[in-house]
Amino acid sequence: MSDDHGGARPGAGRPKAGKTTAADLRERLLKAKGDREAALAQLADLQLRTRRGELVATDAVALHWAGFVAAVRGKLLGLPSKLAARVAEPGKVAEAQALAQDIVFEALNELAADGVPRAPGAEPRPKPTPKVKAKVKAPPKRNPPAKHYPGNGSI
């Protein structure tokens, strides 16, 4: 019975030890040096642009914008009471404040969703339900039971 499987194809697999030529090594070395120089040039460019203020760390930008958005939200939520007190007729302040609050909530909901205003006549997005924290009374503090240890004068 003959073994006619053909064996490995020529050039398949890893090169045999001793088959690497000096020209191959020189080529690999030059490529590695070129890659290293390119990476160092990119790093130097990034450092220079950072020092010039052209680049900013993304976490710093995110932190700044989170603070800015929170401040804007706070200012918008404070508008209804200020507006109502200044423009409403006496006795209608609460009604004006509720109307202004509805408008502010609508704007904040649009911004929270996708920032795109609703088309006229479209169904309004549901208003967020205000989160009310339930006031829970903590149990009264009690003195822990005295521990009696021999020699501490508690007995």
pLDDT digits (tens, 9 = 90+) for 97-118: 999 999 999 888 888 876 666 6
Longest dimension (CA), the chain: 110
State how far the Cα of 82 lies from the Cα of 97, in Å rounded to an integer. Answer: 8
CA neighbours closer than 13 Å in the CB half-sphere of residue 35: 6
pLDDT digits (tens, 9 = 90+) for 115-137: 666 666 666 655 555 554 445 45
